[in-house]
């Protein structure tokens, strides 16, 4: 467990990537109690610098021996590097909060969203997993509903921004949009089809049953985070031509009847949620509204008249913040409170 201190030595691994950059920004914004910040990346990024509290921090090369003296390391360097380096960090007494898929379904590693299951941090063994971005924003909303009425089934369709793939995908959308508007040929490199002015029902690899790995993640991770394998999740994940901010259409079936107003009341008092729901005034969650924010926005809340106990809603969240960086920093904050 983390030793109680006034200030901590924190590392960001994969600091030059989109999520790594966001982790540094979130640490600064939230005034994390920090003695020192260390930044790590691959050899390609050695010597680069990032600003932190009006100081310049130089990026170091990641090796197996850098973790001595580091209290918490926020990893966002991909599954392969996490699988290799996280055990070295844990053996050095550093607690790893990993943003990749590497450890999420390991039964010995807690998968945590602080608004949902902070208690699972009590049994970590040096490595903690940050869930998939689309799962995080969904379970934040599901938690208060499940506590009140027990969720039986969720049908979810995601509308995921290209920043979830990374900077190259964002560049591809930008270039394709410019080329389209200038009547030039569009080149697709990151995705199998053009993403500009298009929707791709294809995120990650297809499995033998026709679902994608992204969809399977949402099923398995939801059940693990919520601590209830009886919750059935039927997902379809879609990549859309949005730079930042994931949205999701949720159809939730519960054992106990909840009215739309009761759901609004539940969500309005739950942590990490903003009820943004006045469609008659064109008020509903949008990626542009949630960008740069840490909350999950919920709206279009209405009863599903085709089932006995059903609720429909639309949610949006910043996938680089609550879907990744902010959730990781919040985990670190809970670890400090528990120390």
Q: Which amino acids are annotated catalytic?
A: 133, 246
Phi-psi region at 189: left, alpha or beta (left = phi > 0; alpha = psi -120 to 50): alpha
Q: For residues 307 and 328, give the distance between their C-alpha atoms in angstroms, rounded to a whole number.
A: 37
Burial 7-23 (b: 16+ CB within 10 A, else e): ebbbbbbbbbbbbbbbb
Largest interatomic CA distance in the chain: 60
DSSP assignment string, 152-185? EEEEEEEEE-GGGT-HHHHHHHHHHHHHHHTTPP
Name the β-bridge partners of 14: none
Token pair belonging to 233:
């999740």
DSSP assignment string, 6-22? SSEEEEEETTTSHHHHH
- Would you say 162 and 195 are in contact if contact means Cβ atoms under 8 Å apart? yes
Q: For residues 250 and 158, give the distance between their C-alpha atoms in angstroms, rounded to a whole number.
A: 9
Nearest Cα neighbor of 133 from 211, 200, 221, 206 is: 221
Q: For residues 147 and 151, give the distance between their C-alpha atoms in angstroms, rounded to a whole number.
A: 8
Q: For residues 91 and 207, give the distance between their C-alpha atoms in angstroms, rounded to a whole number.
A: 35
Q: How far apart are the first and last CA of the chain?
A: 7
Q: How distant is the alpha carbon of residue 266 from its chain centre?
A: 22
Q: For residues 332 and 294, give the distance between their C-alpha atoms in angstroms, rounded to a whole number.
A: 15
Q: For residues 270 and 264, give the distance between their C-alpha atoms in angstroms, rounded to a whole number.
A: 10
């Amino acid at each position: 467990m983390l030793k109680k201190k006034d200030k901590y030595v924190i590392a960001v691994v994969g600091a030059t990537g989109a999520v790594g950059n966001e982790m540094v920004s979130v640490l600064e914004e939230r005034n994390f109690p920090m003695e020192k910040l260390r930044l790590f990346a691959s050899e390609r990024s050695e010597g680069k610098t990032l600003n932190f509290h009006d100081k310049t921090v130089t990026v170091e090369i990641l090796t197996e021996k850098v973790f001595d003296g580091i209290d918490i390391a926020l990893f966002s360097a991909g599954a392969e590097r996490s699988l290799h380096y996280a055990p070295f960090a844990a053996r050095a007494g550093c607690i790893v909060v990993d943003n990749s898929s590497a450890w999420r379904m390991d039964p010995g590693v807690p998968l945590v969203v602080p608004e949902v299951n902070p208690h699972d941090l009590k049994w970590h063994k040096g490595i903690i997993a940050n869930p998939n971005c689309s799962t995080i924003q969904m379970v934040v909303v599901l938690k208060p509903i499940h506590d009140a009425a027990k969720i039986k089934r969720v049908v979810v369709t995601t509308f995921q921004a290209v920043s979830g793939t990374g900077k190259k995908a964002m560049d591809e959308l930008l270039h394709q949009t410019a080329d389209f508007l200038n009547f030039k040929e569009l080149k697709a490199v990151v995705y199998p089809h053009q993403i500009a002015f298009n929707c791709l029902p294809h995120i990650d690899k297809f499995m033998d049953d026709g679902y994608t790995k992204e969809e399977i993640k949402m099923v398995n991770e939801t059940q693990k985070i919520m601590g209830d394998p009886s919750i059935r999740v039927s997902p379809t994940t879609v990549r859309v031509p949005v730079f930042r901010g994931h949205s999701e259409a949720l159809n939730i079936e519960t054992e106990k009847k909840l009215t739309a107003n009761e759901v609004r009341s539940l969500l309005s008092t739950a942590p990490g949620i903003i009820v943004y729901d006045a469609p008659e005034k064109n008020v509903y969650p949008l990626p542009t509204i949630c960008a740069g924010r840490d909350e999950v926005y919920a709206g279009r809340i209405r009863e599903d008249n085709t089932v006995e106990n059903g609720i429909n809603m639309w949610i949006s969240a910043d996938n680089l913040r609550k879907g990744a960086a902010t959730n990781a920093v919040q985990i670190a904050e809970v670890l400090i409170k528990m120390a």
